Amino acid sequence: MPNRIQDLPEEYLSRQRALARAIGARVRLRRSELDLTQEHLRARLEFDHVFISRTQYSRIENGDALPNAAELIALRAILDVPFDWLLLGDMPHS
């Protein structure tokens, strides 16, 4: 097991970066569709007891960081989207 992030295989790191960019883009898209500012969305997260700094939230939307489990759960609820879409971009079939 690698001890540091630098010890992780490049393929793994590349997939993580791609996933972070994709999730960030979907969060930003849906937030815009709901006409929410980043600050308003952060306030909604705090209402759900998920505290996230402006910097960290910006890093998530910009694809520089992956949201943690609590952040994903709260974002899914606030943005009113399925987990499949938030994580993978898949829309449910009707």
pLDDT tens figures, 72-88: 999 999 999 999 999 99
Q: What is the pLDDT of residues 18-55, one digit of tens each?
A: 999 999 999 999 999 999 999 999 999 999 899 999 99
Which pLDDT does position 1 carry in this prediction? 47
Domain residue ranges in the chain: 11-86
Region 11-86: CATH code: 1.10.260.40
Rounded to whole angstroms, how far apart are CA atoms 17 and 8? 13
- Are 76 and 82 spatial neighbours (Cβ–Cβ below 8 Å)? yes
Which pLDDT does position 64 carry in this prediction? 95
Which pLDDT does position 3 carry in this prediction? 52
Residue 90 in this model has a pLDDT that exceeds 90: no
pTM summary value = 0.83
